[in-house]
Structure formats: structure tokens, C-alpha cells
Amino acid sequence: SAVISQKPSRDICQRGTSLTIQCQVDSQVTMMFWYRQQPGQSLTLIATANQGSEATYESGFVIDKFPISRPNLTFSTLTVSNMSPEDSSIYLCSARGGQGHNEQFFGPGTRLTVL
Amino acid sequence: AQSVTQPDIHITVSEGASLELRCNYSYGATPYLFWYVQSPGQGLQLLLKYFSGDTLVQGIKGFEAEFKRSQSSFNLRKPSVHWSDAAEYFCAWNSGNTPLVFGKGTRLSVIA
């Protein structure tokens, strides 16, 4: 199994600023992902974080707004740029090793409030 | 589009009663299917998964799910619900090396 930690656990930010969320996995994993969970909603995939190359973004999400880094097999960051109140959500880091049927683990999430 | 659908937004059951949460998938082949639970203020926990073999899958906390290809369903069941089962339940799927895609979730309330 993999244990995922995220920092910060929560933050309150002003409109127009940016926040970088860090994700650390306690073991090397093949794949890392970032999800968003808006209040009372399900999880929506933002992007797949690729080691050493640009992230793969889902429809509706762009690199300029959500730049992602993955410098190695255990660490990734997600930046929420030029924030607006609509960005208020929980952001979850996720990771999986190996094949698709393997368990995909989730971090505890970062609760972001934008004023 | 390939997806999972959870038709029930909110279900209320009495403690001790049986539970069935519905999940239907839309995919040309057999997907990998999962059920996760998210308790208030908590992270996501995997209850069980199916990817091949026996179509009745046992999970943690007394949950089970049955994969029915003919109905494109993967419903979650529990014979006797406890108050602590009140939570949000998500059905999810992937194929190959793709990331998990989640259904909209079903909120379970348990009453005395």
C-alpha cells in the first residue's frame, strides 16, 4: 500500500493569488494524479502528473491555471493560479503502482477557500 | 461516453436493514470497477474492487458487490447497516492504465 501526505491541509487565500499544494508518497509509484472535489460534488480528474514531462490535462483544465510538476517517483505539486472563489474546493492527490486494477490511493486532500 | 452512473443521489435506511447501492457502467469491454467510501471530513477508502474472476466480490466492513455483465452493473450491498456506515459512496472505474473516473456518488443516511 501507499501512504500519501499533502501540504497544506487547508488554506484560505485571496482572489488573484496562487497556491502550491505538495504531495508526497511514501513509496515509488508509477502514476500520480490530481483531482478536484467541489463542495457536495464527486471527484473530477484534473490531470495525470507525468515524471519528467508535462502533465496530461483533462478537458476543461489547462496548464496555465493548474501547473503541475512531478520531479520524481514520489513527489508532485499542483499550483492553483490566479485564484477566484470558484476555485474553492478540496484538491486530492492520488497515486497508483502498476496496472489499472491495482488500488489507487488518495491523500487526505487540501481544502482551499478563496475569498 | 465511457462512464459510471449512480442513479441514487441520497438513500436513507434504518439501522439493521439491508442496503443496496446501484452503479451502472458504460464501456465496451469489462472495466475495472471499484467502490470507495468517504466519511464526513475524511479521505477516500477503498471498499472493494473487481477486475476479473468471481463476479461476487467481498470487501471490507462487511460490504460485497456483484458484477453483472448482462446488466452493466456493479451494485454494492450490505446485509445489515450500522450507523457508522453513514457516508458518501462512490463507484469508480478505469481501464488499463487510465486514472479512476468516479460516479457522482450516493449519500447514505442511517436512521435509528
Check: CB of residue B23 under 8 Å from CB of residue B73: yes
Dist CA A92 CA B25 (whole Å) = 24
Percent pLDDT > 90 in chain B is 76
Residue A96: list chain B partners with CB under 8 A. Answer: 99
B83 and chain A: CB distance < 8 Å anywhere?
no
Between A2-16, B5-19, B91-105, the lowest mean confidence (pLDDT) is in B91-105
What's the grid cell of residue B11? 438513500
Interface of A with B in 52-91 (CB under 8 A): none
Average pLDDT over residues B39-66: 91
Cβ distance of A43 and B102 shorter than 8 Å: yes
A108 and chain B: CB distance < 8 Å anywhere?
yes
Peptide bond into A8 cis (omega under 30): yes
Dist CA A45 CA A36 (whole Å) = 6
Percent pLDDT > 70 in chain B is 99
Query: 3-state class of B71 per DSSP?
Result: helix
pLDDT at B95 over 70: yes
Dist CA A30 CA A9 (whole Å) = 24
A46 and chain B: CB distance < 8 Å anywhere?
no
pLDDT at A34: 98
Dist CA A110 CA B38 (whole Å) = 15
DSSP state letters, A23-74:
EEESS--SEEEEEEE-TT--EEEEEEEPTTS--EEPTT--TTTS-EE--SSS
Query: 3-state class of B93 per DSSP?
Result: strand
Dist CA B74 CA A23 (whole Å) = 31
Query: 3-state class of A57 per DSSP?
Result: strand
What's the grid cell of residue B12? 436513507
What are A41-84's pLDDT values in tens digits? 999 999 999 998 899 999 999 999 999 999 999 999 999 999 99
Dist CA B26 CA B24 (whole Å) = 7
Sorting pLDDT into bands at 50, 70 and 90, what band is A101? low
Could you tell me the CA-to-CA distances from A53 to A75, A88, A89 in Å, in that order?
A: 14, 28, 26
pLDDT at A111: 96
Cβ distance of B99 and A31 shorter than 8 Å: yes
Q: Give the one of A41, A100, A109 whose C-beta lies nearest to B98's C-beta.
A: A100
What are B65-85's pLDDT values in tens digits? 999 999 999 999 999 999 999
Q: Taking all residues of chain B, what is their mean pLDDT, rounded to a whole number?
A: 92
Cβ distance of A106 and B44 shorter than 8 Å: yes
Average pLDDT over residues B35-47: 90
Between A4-8, A65-69, A100-104, A105-109, the lowest mean confidence (pLDDT) is in A100-104
Cβ distance of B43 and A45 shorter than 8 Å: no
Average pLDDT over residues A5-25: 97
What's the grid cell of residue B65? 458487490
